[in-house]
Chains A and B, each alone.
Chain A
Amino acid sequence: MSKGRYGIHGGQYIPETLMNELIRLEEAYEKYKKDPEFCAELEELLNKYAGRPSLLYYAEKMTKDLGGAKIYLKREDLNHTGSHKINNVLGQALLAKKMGKTRLIAETGAGQHGVATATAAALLGMECEIYMGKEDTDRQALNVYRMELLGAKVHPVTTGTMTLKDAVNETMREWTNRVNDTHYCLGSVMGPHPFPMIVRDFQSVISREAREQILKEEGKLPAAVVACVGGGSNAMGAFYNFIPDKEVELIGCEAAGKGVDTAFTAATIATGTLGIFHGMKSYFCQDENGQIAPVYSISAGLDYPGIGPEHANLHDTGRAQYVPITDDEAVDAFEYLARTEGIICAIESAHAVAHVLKIAKNYRPDQSIIVCVSGRGDKDVAAIARYRGVDIHD
């Protein structure tokens, strides 16, 4: 079995053209993650630029309303650029710079990873090109303009389903085309090794902080940690430091779209099967011939037919459970959180909130649940209005 395995998942299923680059990336990462200067530089960026540590907010009104566990929100939406994506991007951009790269390329779904990458590129003085499915550039026009303001070039991808999967395809193609000066700043815990490991490590700051914060607030570990899962980066970051704490339930919320019994879903664990795609062995939504299935979710960030290999293994081993959340449930939760706590969260994060609305009452008031609010919802307001049939002339 090759490197970068999580049980049977993971690996490096990637063209030969990229193999040496992946090997160099892994070597550079192993070197710099132990380098005190690199670590100090990254910490300074995270704390003084991105605004870490992020708050662990006690949602008192939500707690009282739901009547069960105390609900804490890990506020990744308060980070600079408005989501957890900046944690990984600052790490990778700094690493790329140390490797002598001058150009960052990245895929993006909802646009949050694209915005974060464009931001890091601007800050560190690097060139930046973002690949985004044409359908997503339409759904998230505001984020496209933000990326352009930050100096990035945005390429709308018109192949396939014109969403996140196709953006990944196109970014991979561009990377094989130009690898010497270019780092592929992959946005999730997916792709070939070492990406799932690197992205998880950079995102694990979420659970490192949350674990300390909850112990300080509650004097004990939470009963559950809940996060949304597309590729799975915020969930992996939110779960990671709790994995050894067997008493803490880890719950990933997948995008069920119009429902897991319909063709309009992106719930990989619920509907997918084992496969090899985008550099990794994991679970994928696919048809009876091994063709990757078109997936659907209201959330561009969760609209992906696969899941990171470490999640696939957490599912296999039963350490984490994965539940499907429909568009309807997510939109209801989006509105609920806005009304109840005055927080407009990303539609991705609303999938996690939706599950908490279902389960909070199953816990005692002396127990707590941490839900990762992976991003803020400004980008989604127009789409939610459309979903509700409200014309806001955006």
Chain B
Amino acid sequence: MINEKNKIRKAFDTPNKKAFIVFMTAGDPDADSTVRFVLEAEKAGADLVEIGIPFSDPTAEGVVIQDANIRALKNGMTTDGAFDIVRRIREQSQIPICFMTYCNPVFHYGYDRFFTRCEELGVDGIILPDLPYEEKEEVEGPANAHNVALISMIAPTSEERIQMVAREARGFIYVVSSMGVTGVRSEIKTDLASIVESIRQVTDVPCAVGFGISTPEQAKKMAALSDGSIVGSAVVKIIAAEGAGAAPKLHEYISAMKKAVEET
């Protein structure tokens, strides 16, 4: 079962109870950089980091994160490589960490073997965008057994499924802000307030909004509506542009975003 050793709850235990969550792809552009970037993100104020294990066919990703997956794979990143990145981060940091990847790399590694390794290294959660409520059983059992929270996603189209999903959610709930794949958006139109309200009726598991968030204004607005903001593509864009030397720019960007979330 998910117990007090799981660190996800701590990410939301900030002065205003809002979390700022950052995503980056393991091995983009290389393993050393990812270790450095995660530690820098923590220094800049990130409360939780999602580390993407690259997959050849990331069907829920927009072009920015697709490209990051390709770069990472081309540079030889593997599932074991992603575990090694976490091992190195854990030598210096206890920041809450979730993996984000697709079913196949985890299934192929073997669920039990994968989550045993997660537990050993202190990975707190797993996000699998191609694993809906209906299929979660095969993953949830082994994940729970190793104190890894299987993060549930709720989408603008979830409607009457919201409470069914939320009731069984662990760790945090990933509220998908918009239709489509990941990527920067100028406007988010979904009625997130009513989705969050519906979630609140059945669970006190925190919920964070992701997909399309890139500006401090958006981060602030989404965190105000929920318990946190998740930023992926905008961070990955900085890494794509700056490469191994992205740390200063990442620090600057994440600090500004964190500050906005703190102001809510």
Q: Which of A97-105, A171-179, A334-342 contacts B (4 or more CB under 8 A)?
A: A171-179
Q: From B66, which residue of chain A is reached at the shortest CB distance? A: A159
The answer to whether B159 and A177 have CB atoms under 8 Å apart is no
The answer to whether B157 and A17 have CB atoms under 8 Å apart is yes
How many angstroms between the C-alpha atoms of A128 and B133 in the bound complex?
A: 31
Question: With A169-B57, A291-B56 in contact, do A286 and B108 touch (Cβ < 8 Å)?
Answer: yes
The answer to whether A13 and B157 have CB atoms under 8 Å apart is no
Question: With A2-B134, A172-B59 in contact, do A290 and B179 touch (Cβ < 8 Å)?
Answer: no
> With an 8 A cutoff between CB atoms, is A237 at the interface?
no
Contacting A at CB under 8 A, from B133-178, are 133-135, 153-159, 161, 165, 176
> With an 8 A cutoff between CB atoms, is A19 at the interface?
yes
The answer to whether A15 and B134 have CB atoms under 8 Å apart is no
The answer to whether B108 and A275 have CB atoms under 8 Å apart is yes
Q: From A275, which residue of chain B is reached at the shortest CB distance? A: B104
> With an 8 A cutoff between CB atoms, is B216 at the interface?
no
How many angstroms between the C-alpha atoms of A159 and B64 in the bound complex?
A: 12
Question: With A173-B181, A177-B180 in contact, do A11 and B156 touch (Cβ < 8 Å)?
Answer: no
Q: Residue A178 contacts which of B78, B102, B179 (CB distance < 8 angstroms)?
A: B179
Q: Chain A residues with Cβ under 8 A from B107's Cβ? A: 274-276, 290
How many angstroms between the C-alpha atoms of A274 and B138 in the bound complex?
A: 15
Q: Chain A residues with Cβ under 8 A from B60's Cβ? A: 15, 173, 176
Q: Shortest CB–CB separation between residue A10 and chain B, in angstroms?
A: 10
Q: Shortest CB–CB separation between residue A2 and chain B, in angstroms?
A: 4
The answer to whether B79 and A290 have CB atoms under 8 Å apart is yes
Q: Chain B residues with Cβ under 8 A from A299's Cβ? A: none
Q: Shortest CB–CB separation between residue B130 and chain A, in angstroms?
A: 5
The answer to whether A176 and B179 have CB atoms under 8 Å apart is yes
Question: With A176-B60, A177-B179, A291-B55 in contact, do A12 and B134 touch (Cβ < 8 Å)?
Answer: yes
> With an 8 A cutoff between CB atoms, is B73 at the interface?
yes
> With an 8 A cutoff between CB atoms, is B260 at the interface?
no
The answer to whether B159 and A20 have CB atoms under 8 Å apart is yes
Q: Residue B155 contacts which of A16, A166, A286 (CB distance < 8 angstroms)?
A: A16
- A6-38 to B contact mask, C-beta < 8 Å, 1/0: 000001111111111100000000000000000
Interface centre among B105, B130, B158 (most CB of A within 10 A): B130
> With an 8 A cutoff between CB atoms, is B131 at the interface?
yes
The answer to whether A13 and B105 have CB atoms under 8 Å apart is no
How many angstroms between the C-alpha atoms of A12 and B130 in the bound complex?
A: 9
The answer to whether A13 and B108 have CB atoms under 8 Å apart is no
Contacting A at CB under 8 A, from B29-78, are 55-57, 59-60, 62-63, 66, 73, 78
How many angstroms between the C-alpha atoms of A21 and B159 in the bound complex?
A: 11
Interface size class of B (residues with CB under 8 A): 35 or more
Q: Residue A176 contacts which of B55, B105, B158, B181 (CB distance < 8 angstroms)?
A: B181
> With an 8 A cutoff between CB atoms, is A279 at the interface?
yes
- B100-130 to A contact mask, C-beta < 8 Å, 1/0: 0011111111000000000000000000011
Q: From A166, which residue of chain B is reached at the shortest CB distance? A: B57
How many angstroms between the C-alpha atoms of A273 and B104 in the bound complex?
A: 11
Q: Residue A292 contacts which of B66, B104, B181 (CB distance < 8 angstroms)?
A: B104
The answer to whether A176 and B134 have CB atoms under 8 Å apart is no
The answer to whether B180 and A11 have CB atoms under 8 Å apart is no
The answer to whether A179 and B157 have CB atoms under 8 Å apart is yes
Q: Residue B108 contacts which of A15, A159, A172, A290 (CB distance < 8 angstroms)?
A: A290
Q: Chain A residues with Cβ under 8 A from B103's Cβ? A: 13, 276-277
> With an 8 A cutoff between CB atoms, is A317 at the interface?
no
> With an 8 A cutoff between CB atoms, is A289 at the interface?
yes
> With an 8 A cutoff between CB atoms, is B248 at the interface?
no
The answer to whether A286 and B104 have CB atoms under 8 Å apart is yes
Q: From B130, which residue of chain A is reached at the shortest CB distance? A: A13
Q: From A2, which residue of chain B is reached at the shortest CB distance? A: B134
Add 18 more A-B contacts to A20-B161, A286-B108 (CB < 8 A): A11-B135, A13-B135, A14-B132, A15-B132, A16-B165, A17-B179, A19-B132, A19-B134, A166-B57, A176-B181, A275-B108, A276-B107, A279-B130, A284-B104, A289-B78, A290-B55, A290-B79, A290-B104
9 sample A-B contacts, Cβ–Cβ < 8 Å, listed by A number? A12-B135, A13-B131, A18-B157, A159-B66, A176-B60, A179-B157, A278-B59, A289-B109, A292-B57
Q: Which residues of B contact A (CB under 8 A)?
A: 55-57, 59-60, 62-63, 66, 73, 78-79, 102-109, 129-135, 153-159, 161, 165, 176, 179-181
